Amino acid sequence: MSEKIAVLVDSGCDVPQTVISASPNLAIVALNVRQNGVDYLDGVDLTPDEFYAHLTPDNLPQTASPAPAMIAAHMQDL
């Protein structure tokens, strides 16, 4: 009997892209980030540098879990 093991994490885990690229059984699903009234996918259309550049104490971002459909799509790929 052969088992296939895969790991799916959200983008809050900060796994380096070099590690992701080197492992076909590891995937990241992007968290939803709302910053300054705009919705982003973490690491997809919002880089860490952009995130921190717009961060202010009086306008903190909000995050949300990835959509179930995004999780399911990544699981199928794995």
- The per-residue DSSP string of 34-56 comes to EETTEEEEBTTTB-HHHHHHT-B
46 band by pLDDT with thresholds 50, 70 and 90: very high
Handedness of CA 77, 42, 50, 20 (dihedral sign): negative
Amino acid at 51: F
**Percent of residues, the chain, with pLDDT higher than 70:** 96
pTM recorded for the entire structure: 0.78
Render pLDDT for 9-24 as a digit per residue (tens, 0 to 9): 999 887 888 988 898 8
Give the span between the Cα atoms of 57 and 63, in whole angstroms: 16
